[in-house]
Amino acid sequence: MKFSKFGNRFTRHTGARQLMDDLGAAMTSEEPVMMLGGGNPAHIPDVLQLLAERTREVAGKPREFRRMIADYSSPVGEDRFRASMARLLRREYGWPLGPEHIALTGGSQSGFFQLFNLLAGKFDDGSFRQILLPLTPEYVGYTDLGLAEKLFVSNRPIIEFLDDRLFKYHIDFKGLDVADDVAAICVSRPTNPTGNVLTDAEVRQLADIARARKIPLILDNAYGVPFPGIIFQSVEPVWDDNVILCMSLSKIGLPAVRTGIVVAHPDIIDAITGLNSVMSLSVSSVGPVLLHDLVETGQIINLGRDVIRPYYHTRADQALAWMHSALDGCEYFIHRPEGAFFLWLWVPEMSITCDELYQRLKKRGVFVVPGHHFFPGLDEDWSHKHECIRVSYSQQAESVHRGISIIGEEVRNACR
């Protein structure tokens, strides 16, 4: 079958496709597997119970139930949810927001596809503009979202070595080149894959650079504050009329409802509304109706602070201890886990690449993600890209523990 250029571009092998294929295979396999690769959130009992209760409540209200599954919403997203979200953010942070500043998308991945291609790519005057990622490694899902090739340009980090075989990436502001063809700056906070949390000073400096260059700063907040709040330290939430803040209901515990949230200047919201209407007529109302009351009351923030964040913080400490034990005696480093639910393992002395390590682990039923997928826009041949893997600790503790033990065995074999 012959496909168009568009078809060839979006059907080729990608890191995101590999990740989701692995996730699907693991979830349906009859053989025991250790799924340490995907981004599926944990099945936290208290969260599942709350979602079940909300589902029963909505099902018992015929009008709400119809709104959730039987009626189209506006292409900008469910109106009552957007209004409640604006009130929540205005009340909590004093941001001057109304519903005209908020759009919903079919998941944050879809939202980024829209934003990146709205702002960057080929223009009518023949110019080509790019998205700057000021810190890599960065989210694998960005890599292939551009309608045009070379949509991203990125920057190598400064590496700070810490005690106990930990390290941390920082933005190299001295080496950060915001060229005239940069259309927007984009960062995730916490960063997927590393769990890195940009400092408040780093975010403010990026915001100042973006405003001075008259380009937007896109903040990917899929794991961050105000919800789901999977950040293990105090940080300042950021938004102004030059910031595009992207959130999601997935990491609350609702990945299947595919609900992304974009908070931005009304001009951006109007553009997303137009794209939604063409691409999907409207977006799902399941998540927005289900969680409307939690947003209206602010309970969604309490859920993150009191249930979700402590759960993942405990799991992070547990997984880190297991990893140290499994790799004792090896030359390795782990990015300090500051948020999200991943460990980023760096093994500089392996005799094989991270992709070969991934293949060996997969044969033993352990699914991880090889690190080279997480460097979109970084074309230089940096050996570090082939020395890292991302390990999720969100799944059942026994499975994570066993998987980390096998990682330790295979890393030892690769370092001999």
Where do the structural domains in the chain lie, given as residue ranges? Answer: 5-47+303-409, 71-297
Q: What is the pTM of this model?
A: 0.93
* Strands laid side by side in the 369-370 sheet: 158-161, 166-170, 333-335, 342-346, 388-392, 369-370
Place of tokens 């829209």: 114
> In this structure, are residues 411 and 323 in contact, taking their beta carbons and an 8 Å threshold?
no
Query: What's the fold here for domain 71-297?
Result: Aspartate Aminotransferase; domain 2 (3.40.640)
65 Cβ partners below 8 Å, 6+ apart? 58, 59
Digits of tens for pLDDT over the chain (416 positions)? 887 777 787 776 665 666 566 655 655 555 678 899 888 999 999 999 999 999 999 999 999 999 999 999 999 999 999 999 999 999 999 999 999 999 999 999 999 999 999 999 999 999 999 999 999 999 999 988 988 889 999 999 999 999 999 999 999 999 999 999 999 999 999 999 999 999 999 999 999 999 999 999 999 999 999 999 999 999 999 999 999 999 999 999 999 999 999 999 999 999 999 999 999 899 999 999 999 999 999 999 999 999 999 999 999 999 999 999 999 989 999 999 999 999 999 999 999 999 999 999 999 999 999 999 999 999 888 999 999 999 999 999 999 999 999 999 999 998 86
Query: What's the fold here for domain 5-47+303-409?
Result: Aspartate Aminotransferase, domain 1 (3.90.1150)
- The DSSP symbol for 183 reads E
Reference 384, options 410, 414, 330, 346; nearest CA is: 346
- The Cα 64–Cα 42 span in angstroms is 28
